[in-house]
């Protein structure tokens, strides 16, 4: 994700012209990674939400790792992770949380023990309680960070 904001800025500007003051991003897996990275762009976002967004290592679209861009985060962050997600380690989640804390970024990181990757979308039927709790986190985060 380069610094050329092109369509990203145009999209947020269009929302603001339509009277929408609060703008959030949300994504799952790769989209969660992209949502976290959106907080590093100069978009004046109200917040970013990532569900099991990968935090480290290379990615197929050459997007940087969120852990490598912590110094550039400019928006509140909500990160929701599955404790049984083999692709996102507890150490990576802890490093993300610690990095946001050290930089005084308003954030909330929640890990659902026993929940796998995609617990909220493709496996929601099997993880009803975790999905309901994640939805409550999302709505509370949006409510907290929305401008009236």
User: Which strand ranges, in their side-by-side order, compose the sheet holding 24-28?
Assistant: 24-28, 47-51, 77-82, 107-112
117 is an active site residue = yes
| Of 4, 13, 18, 29, catalytic | 29
4 is catalytic: no
Instruction: Considering the candidates 97, 107, 117, 145, report the single residue annotated as catalytic.
Output: 117
Residues sharing a CB contact under 8 Å with residue 123, sequence separation 6 or more, in sequence order: 116
Q: Is 62 a catalytic residue?
A: no
At 84, give phi and psi (nearest 5°).
-105, 20
Neighbours of 56 (CB within 10 A): 16
Q: Catalytic pick from 4, 13, 72, 85?
A: 85
How far is the C-alpha of 102 from the C-alpha of 92, rounded, in Å?
A: 15
Q: What is the DSSP letter of 107?
A: E
- Active-site residue numbers? 29, 85, 117
């Amino acid at each position: 994700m380069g610094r050329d904001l092109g369509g990203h800025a145009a999209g947020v500007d269009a929302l603001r012209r339509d009277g929408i003051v609060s703008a959030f991003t949300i994504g799952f897996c790769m989209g969660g990674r992209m949502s976290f990275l959106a907080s590093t762009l100069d978009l004046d976002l109200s917040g970013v939400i990532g569900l099991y967004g990968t935090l480290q290592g290379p990615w197929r679209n050459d997007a940087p790792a969120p852990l490598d861009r912590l110094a550039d985060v400019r928006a509140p962050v909500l990160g929701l992770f599955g404790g049984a997600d083999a692709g996102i380690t507890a150490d990576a989640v802890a490093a993300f949380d610690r990095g946001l804390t050290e930089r005084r970024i308003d954030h909330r990181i929640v890990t659902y023990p026993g929940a796998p990757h995609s617990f909220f979308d493709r496996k929601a039927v099997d993880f009803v309680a975790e999905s309901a709790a994640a939805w409550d986190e999302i709505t509370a985060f949006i409510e907290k960070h929305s401008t009236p």
